[in-house]
Amino acid sequence: MSDPTSTKQGVAAGTSIGAAVIMVTVGIVQLFQGIAAVAENQVFVVGLDYVYKFDLTTWGWIHIGLGVVVAAVGLALFTGAAWARVTAVVVAAISILANFMWLPYYPWWSVLIIALDIVVIWAVTTWDPDRA
């Protein structure tokens, strides 16, 4: 009979490696999204007025910076180091906040990234590399 803890750790370990891949991919896409917002403001359609409204160029630079950080932390997460896991949780939480504020510009993408960030946080906080 399988130990439920080891099964949970196996799933968490696999999902954590997946989380690292997700973070690298999302970071690269956010970098490109930021470049598009900085280079050409007409790429994004602005919907309703929103409390967290910034200039698209400002959002572009935010996404460029966030994309680089998310991708770098995703690469570090492959090591399984404790500092990388803690940093991944913090960066994923910041990404959730940034994408919440980005909702009026790109709603479906923002919701998808928020959901993926939640998966990253679950996987990284559940994973214990010493037990997997």
Residue 1 has pLDDT above 60, yes or no: no
Q: How far is CA 25 from CA 1, 31, 36, 67, 103, in A?
A: 37, 10, 17, 9, 20
Least confident among 33-42, 57-66, 117-126: 33-42
Q: 56: Cβ–Cβ under 8 A, 6 or more apart, which residues? A: 37, 41, 44, 46, 105
Mean pLDDT, residues 24-42 taken together: 85
> What is the sign, positive or negative, of the torsion defined by CA atoms of 116, 117, 118, 122?
positive
Higher pLDDT, 36 or 13: 36
Mean pLDDT, residues 105-118 taken together: 88
pLDDT band at 94 (very low <50, low <70, confident <90, very high): very high
Of 89, 70, 72, 76, whose CA–CA distance to 127 is shortest? 89
pLDDT band at 45 (very low <50, low <70, confident <90, very high): low
